Amino acid sequence: MNALRRGVRNAFRNATRSVGVIVILAVAIALSISMLAARDAVNNKISSVRSSTGNTITVSPAGFFGGQGGGTALTTTQITVLLNIANVTAVQAQLSERLSSTQTNLTSPTTAGSLGQQFGGGGGFGGGSTTAAVAIRVIGTNSPGNSLVGGANGGGTEKLTSGTAFSPTSSSDVAVVGTTLATKNNLKVGSTFTAWGKTITVVGIYDAGSTFADAEVLMPLATVQKLAAATNEITGASVVVNNVNNVSGAVTAITKKLGTAADVTSTQATVQAQLAPLNTVKTISTYTLFGAVVAAGLILLLSMLMIVRERRREIGVLKALGATNRSVVSQFVAESTTFTVLGAIVGFVIGLLVSSPITSALVSAEGGSSSAPGGFVRGAAGGFGGGGSGFTPPTGAAAAAGRLRFGGISNTITQLHTTASWSTLVFALVAAIVIAGLGSTVAAATITRIRPAEVLRSE
């Protein structure tokens, strides 16, 4: 016990050196804790993204995209059998149609403009200053809460502002319309309009923040198939897979099942590319973590070697007076442990303060060269982001996928928040023990080789 007390007191014999050693150890330990927190945050983010993003496969008739192009419509049977494919959890089907001025009493809020004229006047592109109105796009869907309102050209993030969403299995003559279209035609919840000779009741109004998407109509899939004389026809589907790692297999199975009748694409490659910076940060943090621990151990080792060399005469005298190697070694181990404990305490506080900024800096630096996917990423959810009575917004993985659909995943993967878990605390303790052990080992071996007679004679 006396040896341990002497060791603790000896840690403060040279105040300047003690402060220097403690500060250096604190920096090394703070870096270790920061890297561990960064690694944990990156691991959690990678797991989250893999479970909720990039797990959607887009299926469309060959040659058909966003209401443009040719091709032959797929059938309901072709789409529903995709549910039997391994790892597929949901299939969201839709039928895209256009209402001309002779098929509806609605007036489009957008005009063709030069782009509309370039692509066929009444085609899918709006905007401009000419008076020719574009056809109104109608999307029939069996997943009103997760629909792709706006298609490839709309963009925006949909939010149900009033009313309710219709049932996925509904065949009623109901619709949810965009705010721009509703304003242009003085529509509100409960209003009616005509389409294909039928009276359609507005049950909800959404806001997508996009001129194109807000000029569209969302209706039950069965209703559009019936009214547009497109029985069993499907112009697009989103196939949701349980995990991004299973997407490749699902794509192969879908392609094999549908053959040349469909174009099958996924965002797996895009997600993997976006995750690459996170994997790089994970590697950097792992190497830096071990490097910091080893560096701290070496710093303490060199410091203790210097201290032992300075106290050779003292050690010789202690041995000459009968002190055993064990008691002398214990004294120096206690001294190195004191340095380490104080450095760990200071380092832990610093690590908590700087872990989040360091993680953000690493992710920003590694992700700076990665570009977000063009347009939007089609996801598993996101027809409406919330709001309105009678509609429950998607939650969990579905909601995450919906949030990522239009803007890519770049913003989401960079939003990392580090926290000090119990595992971090345990690691800090283990790291301190390892550092103290490394710093004391060689010093202890040096002490055991010191012979009192030789030391006293040289003095």
pLDDT tens by residue, 239-251: 888 877 788 899 9
User: What pLDDT, on the 0 to 100 scale, is given for residue 198?
Assistant: 94
Same-domain check for residues 249 and 343: no
Residue 398 clears pLDDT 80, i.e. is over it: no
Determine contact, residues 62/263, Cβ cutoff 8 Å: yes
Sign of CA dihedral 405, 407, 408, 409: negative
Does residue 402 form part of some domain? no
pLDDT band at 177 (very low <50, low <70, confident <90, very high): very high
Which of residues 321 and 256 earns the better pLDDT score? Answer: 256
Q: Minimum mean pLDDT among 216-220, 238-242, 247-251, 435-439: which range? A: 435-439
Backbone phi and psi for residue 300, each to the nearest 5 degrees, phi listed first? -65, -40
pLDDT band at 8 (very low <50, low <70, confident <90, very high): confident
Task: Measure Cα distances from 312 to 187, 240, 396, 447, 452 in Å.
Answer: 94, 72, 65, 8, 9
214 with 355, same domain: the answer is no
- Quote the pLDDT of residue 189: 94
Kindly report which listed range (30-34, 60-64, 371-375, 415-419) carries the lowest average pLDDT score.
Answer: 371-375
pLDDT in tens, 282-298: 888 888 888 887 887 78
Of 432 and 126, the structure prediction assigns the larger pLDDT to 432
Residue type, 436: A
Query: Does residue 191 share a domain with residue 92?
Result: yes
Among residues 233, 266, 299, the one where a domain terminates is 266
User: What is the widest separation between alpha-carbon atoms in the chain?
Assistant: 115
* pLDDT of 373 higher than 70: no
233 and 258 housed in the same domain: yes
237 and 337 belong to one structural domain: no
Beta strand pairing call for 68-69 and 64-65 = antiparallel
**Mean pLDDT along residues 326-341:** 82
| DSSP notation for 364-429 | HHHHTTPPPPSS----S--S--S-STT-PPP-HHHHHHHHHHTT-SHHHHT-------HHHHHHHH
Domain endpoint, select from 266, 295, 322: 266
Residues 67 and 37 in one domain: no
The answer, yes or no, to whether residue 149 has pLDDT greater than 50, is no
Question: Residues with Cβ < 8 Å from 277, sequence gap 6 or more?
Answer: 363, 366, 367, 370, 413
Q: Of residues 61 and 51, which shows the higher confidence score?
A: 61
Q: What is the mean pLDDT of residues 224-231?
A: 93
Residue 402 has pLDDT above 70, yes or no: no
Report yes or no on 385 lying in a domain: no
106: nearest Cα among 27, 31, 191, 172:
191
Q: Do 300 and 438 have their domain in common?
A: yes
- pLDDT given for residue 44 in this prediction: 77
Helices 422-449 and 325-367, packing angle to 10 deg: 140
Domain housing 99: 55-266
Higher pLDDT pick, 5 / 425: 5
Question: How confident is the model over 259-280, as a mean pLDDT?
Answer: 78
pLDDT for 223 equals 95
Residue 325 lies in a domain: yes
pLDDT at res. 416: 52
- In this predicted structure, the answer to whether residue 254 has a pLDDT above a threshold of 80 is yes
For residues 147-155, average pLDDT: 38
Which is higher by pLDDT, 314 or 188? 188
Predicted local distance difference test score (pLDDT) of residue 395:
34
Q: What is the pLDDT of residue 53?
A: 65
The predicted pLDDT at position 313 comes to 79
Q: Which residues, other chains included, contact 263 with Cβ-Cβ below 8 Å and sequence gap of 6+?
A: 58, 59, 60, 61, 62, 63, 64, 65
Residue 395 lies in a domain: no
Confidence of residue 194 (pLDDT cuts 50, 70, 90): very high
Torsion sign across C-alpha atoms 148, 154, 159, 164: negative
**For the chain, how many structural domains are there in total?**
2
Q: Looking at this protein, which amino acid is placed at residue 212?
A: F
pLDDT at 154: 37
Asked if residue 190 and residue 202 are part of one domain, the reply reads yes
- Of 374, 372, 441, the residue nearest 412 (C-alpha): 372
If pLDDT is split at 50, 70 and 90, which confidence band does 200 have?
very high
Q: Please indicate, yes or no, if residue 124 is contained in any of the structural domains.
A: yes
| Residue 415 amino acid letter | Q
Residue linked to tokens 């580090």: 418
Is position 392 within any domain? no
Angstrom distance (rounded) from CA 358 to CA 126: 46
Is residue 332 packed enough to be buried (19+ CB in 10 Å), middle (13-18) or exposed (0-12)? buried
Residue 349 lies in a domain: yes
Query: Within this chain, do residues 8 and 80 fall inside the same structural domain, yes or no?
Result: no
| 219-254 burial: b if 16+ Cβ within 10 Å, else e | bbbbbbbbbbebeebbbbbbbbbbebebbeebbebb
Q: For residue 318, give Cα distances in angstroms to 287, 303, 332, 444, 454.
A: 42, 21, 13, 15, 13
Last residue of a domain, one of 266, 287, 312: 266
Does residue 120 register a pLDDT over 60? no
Residue 420 sits at φ, ψ, to 5 deg, of -90, 100
- Is 361 found in the same domain as 435? yes
Q: Is the pLDDT of residue 185 over 80?
A: yes
pLDDT band for position 104 (cuts 50, 70, 90): very high
Q: Is the pLDDT of residue 109 over 70?
A: yes
Q: Return the ∠ at Cα 283 (arms to 277 and 288), rounded to 5°.
A: 125
Residues 290, 439 within the same domain: yes
Indicate whether 314 and 327 sit together in one domain.
yes
Asked whether residue 379 is domain-assigned, the answer is: no
